[in-house]
Amino acid sequence: MIAETLPFFFFPSSFLSLSVLPTSHVALVILGASTIGALLGAAGSIMLLRREALLGDSLAHCTLVGVVCAFLLTGRKDFDVLFLGALISSALGLIIIKAIQSIPLIKPDAALAVVLAGFFGLGLIGLRTVQVSALGNKAGLDSFIFGKAALMTSSDVSASLVIAIIIFIVIFITRRSLAALCFDSQGLVSLSSPIRWAQVIVALILLSAVSVALPATGIILTCSLLIIPGCIAKFVTRSFNYYVICASCMGALSGAAGTLLSFYFENVSTGASITLAATFFLLLILSLRKCRSFFRPTPRLLTVTQERS
Amino acid sequence: MQIESTPLNSGALANKGIPALEFHNVSVAYGDALVLTDIDFTIPVSAFVAVLGPNGAGKSTLLRTALGLVPRCSGWIKIFGSDLKDVRTQIAYVPQRESVSWDFPARALDVVLMGMFHEVCWFSSMGPQRRNRALEALDRMGMADMANRPLQQLSGGQQQRVFLARALVQEPKLLFLDEPLAGIDVETEAIIIKTLKELCNNGATALVVHHDLSTVESYFDHVLMVNVRLMCPAGPTSKVFSAETIKATYGPRLSLLEEARLAARPIIHGET
Amino acid sequence: MHLFLRRLSLLGDALSHAVLPGIIAAVVLSGSTNAFYVVCGALVASLLSITAVRLLTNAGLSSEGALGVTFTTFFALGVLGLNIFGSQIDLDPSCILYGSLELAPLETFPLSAQFGAHFEVPRAAFSSLLTLVAVTIVIVSRRRRLMITSFDSEMLKLSGSSTLNRFDSGLFFAVAAAAVVNSFFAIGAVATTGILITPAVIARLFSNSMRGMWIITIISTTGIACCGYLLAVVFDTPVAGAVSGLAFLLALLAVFLSPHGGVLPRLIRGKLLILKIATDHVLANKLDDEKQLTNLNSRNPRSSNGFFMLTWLRISGLMAQDGTLTEPGLRRAQTLVRSHRVWESYLVNELKFAPDHVHEPSDRMEHFLTPDLTEKIADQASLSEKTTLGKKS
């Protein structure tokens, strides 16, 4: 059913998987992990700038319901099915989060927590239904949480690549509106229509990124790749464009490094090693900064960081 | 380039008697809480207006309502005689400094360039011409040597100047500034006022939310006094800005006004 | 609830992920899955993670960034531990995430022997009770301080005794961590987050005072927990899912319908407010002269649906079918006009406005002066009812 409605996913996917993608399993997974890392890094860096870093975490939990429902409805575990299910339920979650946040009484992170727990709980109920109906098994939940990056097939990778390329193109086209939105959406009255659209676009980017990543990489890895590359890039770059690019490169690098490590050390699961690789890079950058300021005793101007109240 | 034609246009507008900004019977509520009621005033072209009132009086809301950022309950607003959407490119808004995250990865120059985003397509770069315009604006604000400084390293006054430079490059005919003189140093204040006065002499109109009563007479030529409702008709400083109007707007009868304002929460039924 | 007030709502979720390495380490080190070691390990891990967050924030990350980095990294460490030592321990990680309350009644505590064979106190219940007692003691004895801390930790710092503050803060976190860890084993991490925050959200939507929030929180927490468990048993779903799902649905209801802050009521009230302003104009004009609608349209070009307003006035009993004012309508209009006049006089006499300037501001004030406020102003200004302008006579 979904195959007919989304031919454009399939065509480039199959094309890619037939001709362009490496056949070696390791290389394939590295490519897949890097793609997802790049995508999550870019999306997450934007969210980090908007002080909505944990929104990704919340949305990642929301997708469980969608994935489960998609599986129940179609009986298939294909990437496209899961992607759409994840997309729809995380979109719903996002709408509810924004609705709750619009109430001045409720703090924004409370909304995240409520929706996270709620959707995931509903997802658990759905999962039990799946288990009971003997269609799936407990491994489903485990892979959802920890991810099965090592099990990515070439069609998974190619579909992720296609989506990632689309999203990167969108980011490039709207880069200025995104920058304006992250910095100060109100002040640019003359840009107002594109900026309103930019909010929607940012949401869509995040949702797509999360939905692409989740069926393959699991919740924890998604959250870590959303947040950590952005943190690294913040210390390294001085312009918005480079910030996003750097975050996405760090994400890809972490993905590749982590995957390599997990293939080298047989037991280690890919999700954990990618996360740890990303954290390693972060700690590296932090310590380099400390060393630099240690060797440069001249005082710099005080940094002025203003917390949004 | 529009700089030369701005005074002509504004002059033409002034001759036709079209005011820069006109509010008629505007009420604004956030959800169910009234913030502004029945605001009605007219601002002529080339006016340099101070918007005064105590905290929570709705001054920022007034600006944001004019910009369409906040929906209104009643009344209408006209800018240069037409609706907001027709004149967007002629307006600039400098919001409160706290509303912006200043740890954004950018330099001062990048922020000023943001003001020109609407002029370029997504596939073209800003170009040396626009860079020069941005540098000129920064120079006008005395920040030319800090164009490449990242935002985190700027002081409050420097941030405000960068903000204003961003508004300047948009070559606006109508400027809204929300507390631009709050928490900045003396030199920055002088530069900002001087620049704004120059703009108004060249035909632009500026509305500034201001908090310091002692400087109103020396800086501004019009005042607008607001405390949920308009405390007196807007007009030239010499006529309107007096001890009585200040008292009316700020207190000591404030207790009664506060009570009346509290009474303005909607009492839908059981009124009489 | 205090986590909610302190904008740390996601701490529960973060902690749940962060304790995994602690649990793994404890199990590996102690060589058994004895609950005591596990809980200790979890506590150590949670304290470590809180320190890590603090360190990272000091190094320059934003607070959410630090939180995110810490909990994902800790969890990855835990998974790593699981990978390396997996063969040695018999721990199912997803059990942590969605708990095993179903099995809890089966694990009894030796203490039960003292109460006789009939009382097989489930271990989970016992430890929960203990934690509950501890938490209650801490919160009740420190509630005022907690209130201040939740609202404004700056103020508390300024009010001196900094060591005490840190103790309080630490105590709060320790207690929170203990409560959280305890409930992990019962209902799992995600449901814990739900139970931590959702009742507080519901409470906030329905009450404005600390005490009210407490009451509602306690009632809703216990209610949701019990009903959720029952639902889970009835429908054979995981307890965590039922509990957090139920909490979520209740929260949604509260969000949309709560009269205090809910989305729908605010929308409705906003619309009613617009209507009120418009109809007030109608009423006031009615009293003046009989050419109502034309005046109205010229004054309020935006609300040009005069028909709608007239209908509303008729519905609310202020206007009769033929267009004349009813008794209540007449009274309301008179109040409006009188408050207008009173305010005019006040402006003139007390604030020394020029008489020709007072009509416009009075026009606006008249909507919102209640009768007794009007009286108060009238008394204060010691006026008589004379008008100043010709328009309203």
pLDDT at C181: 53
| Percent of chain C's residues with pLDDT above 90 | 0
Task: Write down which chains contact chain A via at least 3 CB pairs under 8 A.
Answer: B, C
Best mutation target among A120, A142, A307 (most C Cβ atoms within 10 Å) is A120
| pLDDT, tens digit (0-9, with 9 covering 90-100), for B140-158 | 888 888 888 888 888 888 8
Who has greater pLDDT, C36 or C155? C36
Question: Greater confidence, A8 or B245?
Answer: B245
CB-nearest to B268 from C276, C373, C380 is C276
- Confidence band, pLDDT 50/70/90 cuts, at residue C111: very low
The answer to whether residue A242 neighbours chain B at the CB level (below 8 Å) is yes
Residue of B nearest to A175 (CA): B122
Query: What contacts 24+ positions apart, CB below 8 Å, involve C211-216?
Result: C213/C1, C214/C1
Put simply, the answer to whether A301 touches B68 (Cβ < 8 Å) is: no
The model's confidence at residue A85, banded by pLDDT at 50, 70 and 90, is confident
pLDDT for B248: 67
Alpha carbon of C104: minimum distance to chain B alpha carbons (Å): 47
Q: Can you tell me the distance from the alpha carbon of A183 to that of B92, in angstroms, rounded to the nearest whole number?
A: 16
Average pLDDT over every residue of C199-211: 67
Facing residue for B106 by CB, picked from A175, A239, A300: A239
Search chain C and give the residue with CA nearest B243: C351
Mean pLDDT of A112-127: 74
Distance CA B138, CA B180 (A): 16
Residue B88, domain CATH: 3.40.50.300
Q: According to the model, what pLDDT value does residue C392 have? A: 33
In chain B, the number of structural domains is: 1
Quote the pLDDT of residue C222.
65
Does the pLDDT value for residue A149 go beyond 70? no
User: pLDDT at position C85, please?
Assistant: 67
Most confident among A93-107, C35-49, C191-205, C229-243 (mean pLDDT): A93-107
- Helical H segments across B32-141, by residue range: 59-66, 108-114, 127-140
Whose structure tokens read 């030319």?
B144
Best A49, A181, A190 member to test B by mutation, with max B CBs in 10 Å, is: A190
Residues C78-96 have a mean pLDDT of 59
Touching C: which chains, 3+ CB pairs < 8 A?
A, B
Q: Mutating which of B30, B84, B89, B93 best tests the A interface, going by the most A Cβ atoms within 10 A?
A: B93
- Residue C260 pLDDT: 63
Average pLDDT over all residues of chain C: 57
CA of B60 vs chain A CAs: smallest distance (Å): 12
Of A29-33, A35-39, B24-28, C385-389, the poorest mean pLDDT is in C385-389
- Pairwise CB contact (< 8 Å): A113 & C10: yes
Contacts of C347 in chain B (CB under 8 A): 248
Q: Which amino acid is at B241?
A: F
Whether B100 sits inside 8 A of A191 (CB atoms) is no
pLDDT at A223 over 70: yes
**For A70-79, B38-47, C133-142, which range has the lowest pLDDT when averaged over its residues?**
C133-142
CA distances from C238 to C92, C183, C241, C325 (A): 16, 15, 5, 63
3-state helix, strand, coil split of chain A in percent (to 5) is: 80, 0, 20
Higher pLDDT, B208 or B71: B208
Residues A38, A32: Cα–Cα separation, whole Å: 10
Mean pLDDT, range B36-56, rounded to an integer: 82
Name the residue among C266, C332, C350 with its Cβ closest to that of B31. Answer: C266
Token readout for B68 is 């369409």
Distance from CA of C205 to the nearest CA of B (A): 15
What number is the average pLDDT over the span C150-165?
A: 41
The ipTM is 0.78
User: What is the arithmetic mean of pLDDT over A228-255?
Assistant: 88
pLDDT at B70 over 60: yes
Both tokens assigned to A253: 């690098």
Report chain B residues whose CB lies below 8 A from the CB of A245: none
C201 vs A247: which has the higher pLDDT: A247
- H or E element that contains C230: helix C210-235
**Mean of the per-residue pLDDT values for chain A?**
74
Higher pLDDT, B230 or B52: B52
Average pLDDT estimate for C119-124: 35
A101 touches chain B (CB under 8 A): no
pLDDT of residue A200: 79
Residue C327: what pLDDT?
A: 64
Could you read off the pLDDT of A170-218 as tens digits, one per residue? 888 888 878 888 887 677 766 666 666 777 787 788 788 877 777 677 7
Q: Say yes or no to pLDDT of C116 above 50.
A: no
| Averaged pLDDT of chain B | 77
C-alpha span between C142 and C168 (Å, rounded) = 8
Which of the four pLDDT bands, split at 50, 70 and 90, describes residue A289? confident
Contact C204 A106 (CB under 8 A): yes
What integer pLDDT is reported at residue A143 of this predicted model? 60
The band of A6, judged by pLDDT with boundaries at 50, 70 and 90, is very low
Q: Which residue has the higher pLDDT, A88 or A52?
A: A88
- List C-alpha distances in Å: C2 to C133, C166, C206: 17, 16, 16
User: Cβ–Cβ of A304/B110 closer than 8 Å?
Assistant: no
**Per-residue confidence band for C264, with pLDDT thresholds at 50, 70 and 90:** confident
Q: How far apart are CA A87 and CA B214, in angstroms?
A: 57
pLDDT for residue A304: 43
Express each pLDDT in C334-365 by its tens digit: 666 565 555 555 555 544 444 444 454 555 45
- Per-residue confidence (pLDDT) for residue A35, from 0 to 100: 85
Q: Identify the top-confidence range among A38-52, C221-235, C280-294.
A: A38-52
Q: Looking at the predicted structure, is the pLDDT value of residue C390 above 60?
A: no
Q: Is position B137 within any domain?
A: no
What are the chain C neighbours of B272 within 8 Å (beta carbons)?
328, 331-332, 335, 371
**Whole-number Å distance between alpha carbons of A270 and A261:** 8
CB C46 within 8 A of CB C192: no
Which residues does chain C have within 8 Å of residue A101's beta carbon, measured at their own beta carbons? none
- Better pLDDT: A9 or B197: B197
- Which of 158-197 (C) contact B at CB < 8 A? none
Q: Is residue C69 scored above 50 in pLDDT?
A: yes
Of A174, A240, A301, the CB nearest to B105: A240
The verdict on residue B150 lying in a domain is no
Q: Where do the structural domains in chain A lie, given as residue ranges?
A: 2-285
On the question of a cis peptide bond just before residue C21, with omega within 30 degrees of 0, the verdict is no
Question: Hey, what are B113's tokens?
Answer: 């360039």
Kindly report, residue by residue over B93-113, the tens digit of the pLDDT: 888 888 787 778 888 888 888
Measured between alpha carbons, how far is B179 from B111 in angstroms, rounded to an integer? 19
* Nearest CB to A184; choose among B100, B122, B170: B100
The number of C-beta contacts closer than 8 angstroms across B and C is: 96
Is the Cα dihedral A107, A112, A115, A118 positive or negative?
negative
Q: Cβ of B74 and C276 within 8 Å?
A: no
Domains of chain C: residue spans and CATH: 2-187 (no CATH), 270-381 (1.10.10.10)
- The answer to whether A279 and C65 are in contact (CB under 8 A) is no
If one compares B20 and C91, the residue with the highest pLDDT of the two is B20
Residue A40 has pLDDT above 70, yes or no: yes
Highest-pLDDT range among A158-172, B195-209, C4-18: B195-209
Q: Given this model, what pLDDT does residue A112 score?
A: 76
Question: B204 in a domain, yes or no?
Answer: yes
Which pLDDT band holds residue B53 (cuts at 50, 70, 90)? confident
Q: Which CATH superfamily is domain A2-285 in?
A: ABC transporter involved in vitamin B12 uptake, BtuC (1.10.3470.10)
pLDDT for the residue numbered B232: 63
Å from C8 to nearest chain A CA? Answer: 7
Residue B88 has pLDDT above 60, yes or no: yes
Which position has the higher pLDDT, A101 or C136?
A101
pLDDT band at residue B129 under the 50/70/90 scheme: confident
Predicted confidence band of residue C312 (pLDDT cuts 50, 70, 90) = low
